[in-house]
Structure 1
Amino acid sequence: MAVVSYEIKSGVGIIRLNNPPVNALSQVLREGIQNAVVAAQGDESQVLLIVCEGRTFVAGADITEFGKPAKAPSLPSILDSIENSVKPVIAAIHGTALGGGFEIALAAHYRCALASAKVGLPEVKLGIIPGAGGTQRTPRIIGVDAALDMITSGNPVAAAKAHSMGLVDHIINGDLLEGAMSYAERLIADNAPCKRVSDMTIDPATATDALFDSWRKKMAKKSRGQLAPQKIIDAVQIAVTSSVPEGMVKERELFTECVQSTQSSAMRHIFFAERAAAKVNDLAKDTVDRTISKVGILGGGTMGGGIAMNFANVGIPVVMIEINDDALARGLDIVRKNYSITVSKGKLSEEQMKDCLSLISGSTNYDDLGDVDLVIEAVFEDLDVKKEVFAKLDKACKQGAILATNTSYQDVDKIAAATTRPDDVIGMHFFSPANVMKLLEVVRGEKTAGDVISTTMKLAKKINKIPVLSGVCYGFIGNRMLRCSVRENQLCMMEGASPEQVDAVMQGWGMAMGPLAVGDLAGLDVSYKARQALTEEQKGDPKSYCIVDAMVEMGRLGQKSGAGYYRYDPDTRARSSDPEVMAVIERLSAEHAIERREISDDEILNRITCAWINEGAYILQEGIAQRSSDIDVVYVNGYGFPIYRGGPMHYADTIGVKKVYDMICEFQRQHGDVWKPSALLEQLAAENKTFSQWSDEQT
């Protein structure tokens, strides 16, 4: 079938788009739309209807064309053809009309949609702004404030809400084409005019300078460091005093500026990286997945309860196992409270909460795991405890059940060895809070079966997680790299920096929180306890963790104890500096014969980011991660890395791998072989290649 086809039926010129899988606005689709609209101007049709085949209306631009020379016709020129049509044009929406797809609908004179459809302008999530009139037409329909809310969030709007806002003129219940034809015939009967959005104006009283200033401050806080949200505000403000054609010229300039920015490049990198991460390079194409109809969760604490919610949310029954009735009651209560919070935020109805809770049962008996297809262990982070648990699961679970551990550090192969079926064992490292965080590290053991890996990766997507495959090593991808950055933030403090300086540098650079504030939030005792299980060789240089150990041994565990690197108000949790902490740091520096000095912000930033990059290179070199972009996905989705910098490995590619290598060599000269550059990093620097290029060569 042609990408664009045209027929006239009952006076309606039907323009059908068919560019699987999501009708992306490729050059051939754009050309087909324009040719059809232009040709229809002189035929016997009375109304034109744009409708899409497949599962969705046009879901957006063809992102693969970004950054490449533009090919005619441009999207703005197509929209001109649609809006300037002498015959009314109707966009019939199903699935999602997003980005350029929704801009097509906005250029049409009328919009109808299935009740299940959604519309939106998500460009901000790729570091860009709408570039074909989205910022000019939307505020004319729904007002400036609502338009800014919609476009800066990038979130889709359900058809019913879009209808109440005026973005959709008519809701269809039933068959899309039948309903759209009926609507078109009604417009013909009514002799409906061409209702052009460009003819609408914005009331200046609703678009004051104060309103735009308020939005700029809001976005500066919410999307700190990001370029696109501020450009969106600029573009919408232009719409207040400009005609649509004039505004679109300026909008396109801002769009081009964003597209050419390193921020958009990074965010587009993550968009594709998240999709690539789900692919397992060495799985046989004929791998048959296992069926997961019921799940067991061992451990009903905060983590176990959060994991259980992920499955209940998608209709999969869960049984939670705890050591006694009191612990089980606490665990189930955690789940109920979490759901109640979601309901209070309006993200879930009472009825939906009841449905989810009805899928979660509890028990204190391992025998109740006999019929589960997957069991996830979420008990105390101790290897001996986990081995004991898996020996019990081996006996309690049916053959073919997947046995998963939620460990964040421990050796999955040693855990698997406690069973008679190591091929059924896999790591599923959820991030806390497990019912909120999107990342899931899937850890393949030496003997993990291919169908177990495939099933787990696909199941992760079903429960709305972003899966990344890792091999077995201490800390896997994320926490292994975290250890190196923690080493450097600790040593920077030992050598002269304050906690406030370290946090200010990293948060100012774009991290969601400073690393020391994160430690206080998570609890400093977590890493302390993990270190106790390590050998002295595994722990490394005592200087690299003596500050955090001293905090814990003083009872300063972070926010939960009211003091860590900072002091916390017992009621508000407001953070304040504490001179006692600097006194401890200075004492430890003296004990380790370190002469304190002034450390620049640049040195702190480079030591922490280069520590991530070098360890990431070792991880790639050892085959722990499949590709460099997988590491980026882990850090953006699990560790607060700024998405507009694209992850540690993309950041290295952006600033130059040779530059990173030179910095690491200098750090090695200054601080010793803890900074020894990986062989892969050295190779890429010598060959003037990026991590992305190297990863592409491996597949």
Structure 2
Amino acid sequence: MDTALVVGAGPAGVAVALLLRRAGYRVDLAELDVDTARRVRDMLAQAGLDLAVIDGPGTPQSATLVVEALEEEPDQRAPVLADLLATCRADCLLLSTTLTGLTGRVLGFRLSAPTALRRLVEIAPGPETETPQLATAFALARVLGRQAVAAPLDRPSIGTRLMQRLYEMADMMLMDGAIPHELDEAMVAFGWDMGLYEAQDLVGLAQAYGARKAQASTRDPRRRYIPIQDRMVEEGRLGKLAGVGWYRYPGGGGAVIDPLVEDLVREEAWFAGIAPRLFTAQEMQERLALALFHEGALMLADGTATAAGDIDTVSVAGLGFPAGRGGVMAYAEALGRDAVRQSLEPLADADPVIWAPLPPLA
């Protein structure tokens, strides 16, 4: 039996450890923080999941597969990755669940979350990755029942850009008057596998919060920044594991609408001087689809994506876009280019930064 070591017992680490366990690996889940390790052990025990959580860095020299799943920023993860590179076996496949800060032969291997719903894994080669290692990573994705796509090392991936744009558009509509649970309901009615905010509760809000803070110095000042999610985290609304996020989860059960969230959203709009307006379900559905199509077209123009089909694959397998509509680019094509162009024009007039005119080639 192959042996795997997963370093980092956050949501990504637990998810990949459970997938490896189901695929037949003997798995050790290592956590550097003692309090986090104890909390995760308790959580797994309550869920009836048999998965060993050990304190400390584990023993990478005995594993055939090592996965770094720390949630810290690249500069904080770098020493851990360096130690893993120095101590793991020469024939060990070394993966990271993020696509940034890769060194040596470490490959990025990011699972789309929530993993119970999404089947995508994005794989990015490290600076010294060789072809056999890359092929092994793609083979591992198949073993785990995932659909793998290649991700670039030098720029945000298709999945990253689509997800960021999706959240940006949804948060902008919240600021302008939409209600979180109604937006989720509109998405499900359109065919999404889950509403955006309920899905974020499952994943947890803390990691995205850290990423936003880390990007503060490089953020385009012309682009609207919506502080709603920041305030959610700062008030302890961290998601389902915390018992409250965009929804409440009494007794650890299913999502229950929390009217305090709407109050929080409306208060942030008031601080920003925005008078809320009504959004119909159809308007929310169309605005989200248009934002994804627009970002997809930009990626085709700048070379992040080489084919519309790749964007469709990522939108369905990684974001939960309705498979029956073929993916976001196929859906736009079915609507007709003239119809999509006419829908984009007034949006570009109102906000030429968010809705930048597309290059003629796109």
Name the TM-score class by shorter chain.
0.7 to 0.9
Partner Cα separation in structure 1 for residue 163 and residue 173 of structure 2: 15
| 2:311 is the alignment partner of 1:311 | no
Residue from 380, 384, 396 that aligns with 2:87? 396
For the pair 1:477 / 2:168, whether they are aligned, the reply is no
Q: Report the counterpart of residue 341 of structure 2 in structure 1.
A: 661
Structure 2 counterparts to residues 284-295 of structure 1, below 5 A: 293-295=2-4
SS of the equivalent of 2:108 reads strand
2-side partners of 1:577 and 1:322: how far apart? 33
**In 2, distance between residues paired with 1:315 and 1:567?**
35
* 2:63 is the counterpart of 1:372: yes
Say whether residues 1:670 and 2:313 are aligned partners: no
Residue 509 (structure 1) shift: 0.9
Partner of 1:602: 282
Please say if 1:510 is aligned against 2:219.
no
**In structure 2, what residue type is equivalent to 1:386?**
R
Distance 2:332 2:155 in 1: 24
CA distance in 1: counterparts of 2:182 and 2:38, whole angstroms? 44
Deviation sequence 1:585-633 (CA, Å, 0-9, x none): 3333343333433334333222211111121223333433453223222
Is residue 523 of structure 1 aligned with residue 204 of structure 2?
Answer: yes
- Partner letter of residue 15 of structure 2? G
Preserved contact between residue 114 and residue 199 of structure 2 (Cα < 8 Å): no
Instruction: Determine the structure 2 residue equivalent to 1:631.
Output: 311
**Partner AA of 1:518 in structure 2:** A
| 1:323-369 superposed Cα distances (whole Å, 9 cap, x missing partner) | 3777667667766776x56xxxxxxxxxxx8xxx7xx7967455x32
> Quick check: 1:300–1:332 contact (8 Å CA) kept in 2?
no
SS where residue 375 of structure 1 aligns?
Answer: strand
Structure 2 SS opposite 1:593? coil
1:108-167 CA-to-partner distances (Å, cap 9, x unmatched) read: xxxxxxxxxxxxxxxxxxxxxxxxxxxxxxxxxxxxxxxxxxxxxxxxxxxxxxxxxxxx
The secondary structure found in structure 2 opposite 1:315 is coil
Given residue 415 of structure 1, which amino acid in structure 2 is its aligned partner?
A: L
Contact 1:444 1:453 in 2 (8 A): yes
**Do residues 429 (structure 1) and 110 (structure 2) align?**
yes
Distance 1:558 1:471, change over 3 A: same
How large is the RMSD of aligned CA atoms in angstroms? 3.3
The corresponding residue for 2:227 is: 546
Note the C-alpha offset of 1:461.
Answer: 0.9
CA 1:534–1:396 in 2, change beyond 3 Å: closer, same or farther? same
Aligned counterparts of 1:559 and 1:329: Cα–Cα separation in 2: 18
Give me the whole-angstrom Cα distance separating, in 2, the residues matched to 1:324 and 1:550.
26
TM-score, length-scaled by structure 2: 0.84
- Say whether the 8 Å CA contact 1:524–1:557 is kept in structure 2: yes
1:336-485 aligned within 5 A: 340=48, 364=56, 368-407=59-98, 411=100, 414-416=101-103, 422=104, 424-432=105-113, 434=115, 437-445=118-126, 447-472=128-153, 476-485=157-166
Report matched runs for 1:67-82 at 5 Å.
none
Query: CA separation of 1:376/1:433 partners in 2, compared to 1, >3 Å: closer, same or farther?
Result: same
2-structure distance, mates of 1:387, 1:511 = 37
1:399 counterpart SS class: coil
Greater shift, 324-333 or 471-480, is seen at 324-333
Distance 1:555 1:326 in 2: 18
Q: Residue 570 and residue 322 in structure 1: after superposition, are their counterparts in 2 closer, same or farther (change >3 A)?
A: closer
CA distance in 2, matches of 1:526, 1:658: 39
CA distance in 2 between counterparts of 1:449 and 1:667 reads 45
Tell me what 2:7 maps to: 298
Report the residue type matching 1:503 in the other structure. Answer: D
For each residue in 1:162-188, what CA deviation from the matched residue of structure 2 results, as whole angstroms up to 9, or x when unmatched? Answer: xxxxxxxxxxxxxxxxxxxxxxxxxxx
Letter in structure 2 aligned against 1:315: G
Q: How many residues align?
A: 362
Is residue 471–residue 625 contact of structure 1 (8 Å, CA) maintained in 2?
A: no
- SS of equivalent residue, structure 2 residue 194: coil
Comparing both chains, which one has the higher relative contact order based on Cα–Cα distances under 8 Å and sequence gaps of 6 or more? 2
Q: Secondary structure at the match of 1:666?
A: helix
CA apart distance, 1:534: 1.2
For 1:374, the aligned partner's letter is L
| 2:299 counterpart (611, 615, 619) | 619
Secondary structure, counterpart of 1:441 in structure 2: strand
Task: Flag structure 2 segments of 5+ consecutive residues without an equivalent.
Answer: none
One of 169, 177, 197 as aligned partner of 1:488: 169
Which one-letter code corresponds to 1:395 in the other structure? Answer: A
Q: How far apart in 2 are the matches of 1:628 and 1:542? A: 26
Give the whole-Å Cα distance in 2 for the aligned partners of 1:594 and 1:638.
33
Give the equivalent residue in structure 2 for 1:122. Answer: none
Aligned to 2:256: 575
Identity %: 28
Which letter maps to 1:507? V
Is contact 2:183-2:195 (8 Å) kept? yes
Long gaps (5+) in structure 1? 1-291, 342-352, 417-421, 685-699
Give the distance between the partners of 1:554 and 1:540, measured in 2 at CA. Answer: 25
Structure 1 CA distance for aligned equivalents of residues 92 and 361 of structure 2: 43
Distance 1:304 1:553, change over 3 A: closer
The Cα shift of 1:429 comes to 0.6
Report deviation, 1:428: 0.6
How far the C-alpha of 1:543 sits from its partner, in A, is 4.5
Q: Secondary structure at the match of 2:94?
A: strand
Give the Å deviation of 1:671: 1.7
Call closer, same or farther: CA 1:391–1:561 in 2, change over 3 Å. closer
Q: Which residue of 1 aligns with 2:273?
A: 593
Contact 1:661 1:677 in 2 (8 A): no
CA drift at 1:676: 0.8
The alpha-carbon distance between structure 1 residues 365 and 556, as it changes in their structure 2 partners (threshold 3 A), is: closer
TM-aligned CA deviation for residue 456 of structure 1: 0.9
Structure 1 pair 616/364, CA: closer, same or farther in 2 (3 Å)? same
CA distance in 2, matches of 1:595, 1:327: 42
Question: 2 CA distance for matches of 1:570 and 1:541?
Answer: 43
Deviation per residue, 1:174-208 (Å, 9 max, x gap): xxxxxxxxxxxxxxxxxxxxxxxxxxxxxxxxxxx
Q: Once the 2 structures are TM-superposed, how far is the Cα of residue 675 of structure 1 from its aligned partner? A: 0.9
Q: What residue identity is the alignment partner of 2:326? A: G
Residue 465 of structure 1, CA deviation: 1.9
Match for 1:307: what amino acid?
V
2-structure distance, mates of 1:571, 1:307: 22
